[in-house]
Amino acid sequence: MGFFNKLVQGLTKTRNNLVNQIKSVLRGRKISEELFEELEEVLITADIGVKSTLEIVENLRERCREEKIQDGEEVENLLKEELKKLLGDGSGLKAPNAEPWVIMIVGVNGVGKTTTIGKLAAKFTSQGKKVVLAAGDTFRAAAAEQLGIWAERSGAQLIRHAEGSDPAAVAFDALQAARNRKADVLIVDTAGRLHTKSNLMDELKKVRRVLEREMPGAPHDVLLVIDATTGQNGLNQAKVFGEATGVSGIVLTKLDGTSKGGIVVAIKKELGLPVKFIGVGEGIDDLQEFDPNEFVEALFED
């Protein structure tokens, strides 16, 4: 199955929650203020976010006036255009002019950080790149073991310390090892205890500082992994992690398990952060670069 078909399948719950409601609001009706208010309500309940929703609906009102649109059904294509415009161009990861390319992965426990690292490692090794993984989540029992399994599966090398070790020391050693082994990519795992605990944020800042000190410009990317099923709570996580670590992009996992896929739009609008990758399944190939155009088309696919 191609990724577009997987995406269509993975967005089934969101489509049932969002698009089917949109269609029921628009079909067989004339443009009216009542229609726009109902559409607004549907978009907000799908976790598209208040700011995004107000902008989208105001633009639709204006376009309907300017283009003299009378039928509700014609609004569907306009809505797709507005969503694509809001999401902007797809922007996957771009390798820096430096080796190794240092990518730091952050996020609370349970969002799929380890799996994301494994899938990213597999993506890079399949391109012929040499990858080193740093087991920086030293506080969670079995975190390094899980990462070790992914390292084996993906053909990456693992740098780890004993459980409870200083995560910044792991990052330091991993960067030295990556340099010595002439690795192309270093992916640094980090702890993910509750984002409300300031001590976790201090740890993450320290890891970042050590990487920057040892290699100016590193980490080149800081990816925040968010579980799409958490909806608006994911936005709160992004704000806290963003302040501590300077998040450069989002990896949105478990889109196939939620009816609130609209969170993609809220993240872009309310945080100004690009969604770099989305996950729509458990398979090693189910993490793909985010393509806004493809996402919107899959969302509205009949």
Q: What is the pTM of this model?
A: 0.92
Q: What is the mean pLDDT of residues 17-34?
A: 92
pLDDT at 230: 84
Q: Where in the chain are the domains?
A: 3-87, 101-291
- CA dist 142 and 151 (Å) reads 14
pLDDT at 197: 58
- Whether residue 188 contacts residue 117, with contact meaning beta carbons closer than 8 Å, is answered with no
Q: 101-291 has which CATH code?
A: 3.40.50.300
Is the domain defined by 3-87 classed in CATH 3.40.50.1000? no
By CB atoms closer than 10 A (0-12, 13-18, 19+), residue 142 is exposed
- CA dist 238 and 233 (Å) reads 9
Phi, psi of 289 (to 5 degrees): -60, 140
Whether the per-residue pLDDT at 101 is higher than 60: the answer is yes
pLDDT at 194: 46
Report pLDDT digits (tens) over 155-192.
999 999 998 899 999 999 999 999 999 999 999 999 98
Report pLDDT digits (tens) over 242-282.
888 999 999 999 988 888 888 889 888 888 888 999 998 88
pLDDT at 32: 95
DSSP 167-198: HHHHHHHHHHHHHHTT-SEEEE------TT-H
Average pLDDT in the chain: 91
